[in-house]
Amino acid sequence: MGHPATAIPEKIFFKIGEVCDLVGVQAHVLRYWETEFPMLSPQKNRSGQRSYRRRDVEIALRIKELLYDDLYTIAGAKKKLQVELRESSRLKIVHPEPAQKENFIKEFKSPEPQEEVFEPEEIEEYEEELGEIESFEETAPVEMDDERREALTNLAAQLLELREMLKTNKFESAGSQTRNY
């Protein structure tokens, strides 16, 4: 009967679609509950859209629990919820677990640079070897040992972080550029 606790995101207002996803019911059900349960009363913005507060989401979750899990009637759930709200000023709040900050970029010791000097004969041999390789698909697959896998994982993480830095920098520089007319 007991469902796992629903983590409510740390937001001030929720749209009806977000509340539907959190509670697990359709929008018409939430709107019906608003008519039956006076304590569930989301604000409406200028355009008439419902803006649910965290408290409204908690109440909607409790209503669903009373109706679907505990099998109360609408009238019984209404009375039970009124008693609960009188007894405690707050419903049980389920906070999302704090996101653990992961350091995706780990220090990876790169091999020491070695200065190589190629003689013209070596370059010709190298070019011949490259000419022998007809396509990439025909080359033998590289064995993935733990060290290579870790190196690729680190590289991927660094690339993701660089992409985020570029995105952030792009938006910051776009915002700082103003035109003077």
> What is the C-alpha end-to-end distance of the chain, expressed in Å?
66
DSSP strands (E only) in 47-135: 50-53
Q: Give the number of other CB atoms < 10 A from CB of residue 158.
A: 14
Query: Using one digit for the tens of pLDDT, what is the confidence trace for 150-167?
Result: 888 888 888 888 777 777
Domain ranges of the chain: 13-87, 102-111+144-176
- Asked whether the predicted pLDDT for residue 57 surpasses 90, the reply is yes
What is d(CA 101, CA 109) in angstroms, rounded to the nearest whole number? 23
| CATH domain 13-87 topology | Multidrug-efflux Transporter Regulator; Chain: A; Domain 2 (1.10.1660)
The answer, as to whether pTM is greater than 0.75, is: no
Mean pLDDT of the chain: 77
Residue 83, CA distances (Å) to 2, 77, 122 in order: 21, 10, 88
